[in-house]
Structure 1
Amino acid sequence: MPNTYTQIYIQVVFATKGRNIKIKSEVRAEIEKYICGIFNNKKQKVLAIYANPDHLHVFFSYKNLQITIPELIKTVKIESTNFINEKTLCFGKFS
């Protein structure tokens, strides 16, 4: 249909395993920037993001461009967890 416009906004909250305090304030900005990059690479637009010590909020605009919401969230969780563990941004294993 011509002139059809769809806009979907989604808020996702990721919690650390066991709600353990893992995200320190000194690495918060680096984690947020990396996660925004993942969304950007998947052609999604992050409108707001904030990493708390035991959870993270992401509010984004979803455009269905070859990736489903579950695939997108799975990718974000896997890639961000790997990034945090490889860079040792927190004490112990992050999950």
Structure 2
Amino acid sequence: MPNTYTQVHIQFVFAVKYQAALIGDSWKDGLMKFITGIFQENNHKMLQINTMPDHIHIFIGMRPHQSISSLIQNVKTESSKWVKAQNVCSVPFAWQEGYGAFSYAKSQVPNVISYIQNQEKHHRKRTFLEEYRDFLTKFEIEWDEQYIFKELE
């Protein structure tokens, strides 16, 4: 749309179903490249992406032509299909329902990129659920514990 100018930076966080540590070192780069392609095909700018075995962080410059929910639904659906098609996971792969979406000012972009790049370092000190609860608290998002990502049962 002409005369539409935006600057929207969003970090998405979501987990493998039951927080199972399924994302393997041997195929996580392929997964991240595939997911990056989905964002690019939808005309969003990938700023940083990184996975841990049980979750993913994605930081983008988002264009306003698409809703957050439809974008993430597409990413989760297509990336799950990719994992299955690549036959890289010995058990059925799926993402948990839900996601976190956190917005940032332009001045925060370098720090968010660095944070995502250093996920391995952060998770030596705290779990994914601790990190996720910290995000919700920091961003003053009301949440109910029963709807937080589920641990392996």
Q: Normalized against structure 2, the TM-score is what? A: 0.58
Q: Does 1:12 align with 2:12?
A: yes
Which whole-Å CA distance do the structure 2 matches of 1:5 and 1:64 have between them?
9
**What is the SS of the residue equivalent to 1:40?**
helix
Q: Does 1:48 align with 2:35?
A: no
Which whole-Å CA distance do the structure 1 matches of 2:3 and 2:68 have between them?
24
Which stretches in structure 2 are left out of the alignment for 5+ residues? 95-153
- The aligned counterpart of 2:86 is 87
Which whole-Å CA distance do the structure 1 matches of 2:89 and 2:14 have between them?
16
| Structure 1 residue 31 displacement after superposition | 0.3
Identity %: 38
**What is the SS of the residue equivalent to 2:26?**
helix
| CA distance 1:21–1:3, change in 2 (3 Å) | same
Give the aligned CA root-mean-square deviation in angstroms.
1.5
Q: Judging by fraction of residues, say which structure has more strand.
A: 1
- Deviations, residues 10-54 of structure 1 (Å, cap 9, x unaligned): 100120011001001111100000000000111111100001100
The list of structure 1 runs, each at least 4 consecutive aligned residues, that deviate by more than 6 angstroms after superposition, is none
Q: Does 1:26 align with 2:36?
A: no
- The aligned counterpart of 2:70 is 71
Which whole-Å CA distance do the structure 1 matches of 2:15 and 2:51 have between them?
10
**What is the SS of the residue equivalent to 1:26?**
coil
Which stretches in structure 1 are left out of the alignment for 5+ residues? none
Which whole-Å CA distance do the structure 2 matches of 1:4 and 1:83 have between them?
34
Bigger radius of gyration, 1 or 2? 2
| Structure 1 residue 87 displacement after superposition | 1.0
| Structure 1 residue 4 displacement after superposition | 6.5
Which whole-Å CA distance do the structure 2 matches of 1:71 and 1:4 have between them?
21
